[in-house]
Amino acid sequence: MSQISKTDLRSSCRNLREQLKAETPDAPQRVRDVFPEKLLQRFGPLVSGYIAIGSELDPAPLLERLRSLGAEICYPRVEADDQMTFRRVASENELEDGPFGLKQPTDDAQIVAPGLILTPLLAFDAAGNRLGYGKGHYDRALETLKSERSVFVCGLAYSGQEVLKIPAESTDIPLDWLVTENGSIPLFFSRVSKR
């Protein structure tokens, strides 16, 4: 699939996500309630969250629940060299404005290696492919982390963000799991069963 068609897919998926956010305002609370605690038990306690931008599914209620279960939360930071790191902060009050409208840790916050990464997305497919914004920040950061340790990647999305097929490239890191307002989808297991 050409780059133009992937760009078109991003545009249509962004519009769809805005519509889904308006139609399901309780989705963040529902995701909080259906998120499997076993993921934190197995891959925590260090969890990377994010601060929602625009129509991204807001993870704040889920992060609050995970903290109450003993999770330590870190956040991604886009660095000057266009790489992304994960950094620990004591609270969201320690975040600063970053590129692309992000709220992110300061450059003096401790760099950490989370075992469970919650990620936003524009769309996903049944094979675990994630459509991001096209900058590759998450993919590069995940590739680095996965070369050093076991990392579990969980997308957070509205159920209506599923598409038939996302054109995946060799540098794209697939999701292991996905949680929507309607429940969990263990994508890792579906990929293994298709081998």
| DSSP codes of every residue in 26-66 | THHHHHHHHS-HHHHHHH-SEEE-----TTSPP-HHHHHHH
Q: What is the pLDDT of residue 18?
A: 96
Q: What is the pLDDT of residue 188?
A: 61
Give me 26's structure tokens.
């309780």
Domain positions in the chain = 3-193
CATH for 3-193? 3.40.50.10420
Q: In what helix (H) or strand (E) does residue 151 lie, and over which residues does it extend?
A: none
Q: What is the pLDDT of residue 4?
A: 43
Q: What is the pLDDT of residue 114?
A: 97
Report how far residue 69's alpha carbon sits from residue 165's, in angstroms, rounded to the nearest whole number: 35
Give me 1's structure tokens.
């699939």
- For 72-194, strand residue ranges (E) read 72-78, 84-88, 95-97, 103-105, 110-112, 116-119, 123-124, 130-131, 152-156, 177-180, 183-185
Q: What is the pLDDT of residue 1?
A: 38
Q: What is the pLDDT of residue 134?
A: 72
Q: pLDDT by residue (tens digit) across 63-113?
A: 999 999 999 999 999 998 888 999 999 888 899 998 888 899 999 999 999
Task: Return the closest-CA partner of residue 119 out of 109, 107, 129.
Answer: 129
Q: What is the pTM of this model?
A: 0.90
Q: Are 181 and 27 in contact (CB under 8 A)?
A: yes
Q: Which residues of the chain have pLDDT under 70?
A: 1-5, 188-195
Report how far residue 82's alpha carbon sits from residue 102's, in angstroms, rounded to the nearest whole number: 13
Q: Are 103 and 96 in contact (CB under 8 A)?
A: yes
Q: What is the pLDDT of residue 57?
A: 98
Please provide the size of the chain in residues.
195
Q: Are 116 and 37 in contact (CB under 8 A)?
A: no
- Residues 57-81, buried b or exposed e (16+ Cβ, 10 A)? bbbebbbebbeeeebebbbbbbbee
